Amino acid sequence: MLVIKGLTKYFAKNTPHEVLAINNFNLRVKKGDFITIIGSNGAGKSTLLNLIAGTLQPDQGEIRLDGKIITYQPEYQRARWIGRVFQNPLLGTAPYMSIEENLALSLKRKRRGLKLGLNKYLRKYFRSKLSELELGLEKDLTKKVGLLSGGQRQAMTMMMATMFKPKILLLDEHTAALDPESSKKIMKITKELVAERKGDLITLMVTHNMKQALEVGNRTVMMDRGYNIFDIQGEERKKIDINYLLNQFSKLRKQEYIEDRMVLG
């Protein structure tokens, strides 16, 4: 289980440009949960993922995974059990290395040593896994990744992020930079790769697409100005639509504004 308690993060703290990016954020995530995270620009969605991954350190609060406190654990250590895919298809792969070298590199997260350890058995495994993507990547494992299309690279990044059996998968608007057809394909691959883990993977996916947010996963969290303002799952989630989410967002923000005025008044 992933438990986030009282997480707070400032940027430019104690300066005239201070920004409160994450504000007393709380979340409990069970194994098998696939959470879609929505919110306007600046809501703190990507910052939250960066705090979970260890890219950023919080000012307050605690992060626990399976009962162990990981709040200030270095990013390179968390990389052994966190898979991550970014919005930019150029991130997450090494363009001047081949397809097989990139895949071998992803498997090294939990092994020591400098050698990639490529052999015929590993190549056979790579071809088998790549063929499941239905993008023809298995045909030439020696092809440089920099020569692939954005959709192909993102599909590879998805595979690399899950191949080493992570405990947590973080997806930061990973279809936003793709054309509609590639986006649809990557979402299909995403659902298949998560389903392969049969309920032992925690997945957090940031998206601006509210339709996508309700179609994927089993739970949706709405963020605003660093807060977790709305959390819905299960049968209740199945009953709602985009208009409900928009109305809920408007209602919650209005209520917060009224409360702020009461405090300031």
> Average pLDDT, stretch 207-232?
93
- pLDDT of 61 higher than 50: yes
By three-state DSSP, how is residue 157 classified? Answer: helix
- pLDDT of 63 higher than 80: yes
Within-domain flag for 139? no
Q: 107 falls in which pLDDT band (50, 70, 90)?
A: confident
The domain in which residue 218 lies consists of 2-91+148-264
The domain that holds 22 is classified in CATH as 3.40.50.300
Question: What pLDDT is attached to residue 261?
Answer: 41
Question: What pLDDT is attached to residue 74?
Answer: 96
Question: What pLDDT is attached to residue 263?
Answer: 37
Q: 264 falls in which pLDDT band (50, 70, 90)?
A: very low
- pLDDT of 31 higher than 70: yes
- pLDDT of 113 higher than 90: no
Q: Which residues pair with 83 in a beta bridge?
A: 169
- ∠ CA 182-185-187, nearest 5°, is 110
Within-domain flag for 116? no
Burial class for 125, CB neighbours closer than 10 Å (0-12, 13-18, 19+): middle
Question: What pLDDT is attached to residue 109?
Answer: 66
- pLDDT of 164 higher than 60: yes
Q: Which of 115-119, 158-162, 181-185, 242-246 has the lowest mean pLDDT?
A: 115-119
> Average pLDDT, stretch 28-57?
96
Within-domain flag for 121? no
Backbone torsions φ then ψ of 203, nearest 5 degrees: -120, 130
Question: What pLDDT is attached to residue 115?
Answer: 57
Backbone torsions φ then ψ of 8, nearest 5 degrees: -135, 135
Total number of domains constituting the chain: 1
> Average pLDDT, stretch 86-102?
92
> Average pLDDT, stretch 255-262?
46
Within-domain flag for 143? no
Tokens of 168: 């947590």
Q: In what order do the strands lie in the sheet with 82-85?
A: 82-85, 168-172, 202-206, 34-38, 219-224, 227-233
CA distance 49 to 80: 16
Q: Is the dihedral of CA 27, 33, 39, 44 positive or negative?
A: positive
Within-domain flag for 71? yes
Within-domain flag for 125? no
pLDDT more than 90, % of the chain = 78
CA distance 178 to 185: 10
Tokens of 231: 């959390």
Question: What pLDDT is attached to residue 262?
Answer: 33
Question: What pLDDT is attached to residue 94?
Answer: 92
Q: Are 103 and 126 in contact (CB under 8 A)?
A: yes
Across the chain, what does the average pLDDT equal? 90
- Which H, E and C letters describe 179-208, residue by residue? CHHHHHHHHHHHHHHHHHCCCCCEEEEECC
Q: 248 falls in which pLDDT band (50, 70, 90)?
A: confident
The one-character DSSP state at 144 is B
* Strand-strand pairing, 68-69 and 60-65: antiparallel
Tokens of 112: 């020591």
Q: In what order do the strands lie in the sheet with 2-11?
A: 19-29, 2-11, 60-65, 68-69
DSSP H helical ranges for the chain? 45-53, 75-78, 99-107, 120-131, 150-163, 180-196, 210-215, 234-238, 242-264
> Average pLDDT, stretch 58-68?
97
- ∠ CA 200-203-207, nearest 5°, is 165
Within-domain flag for 58? yes
Within-domain flag for 114? no
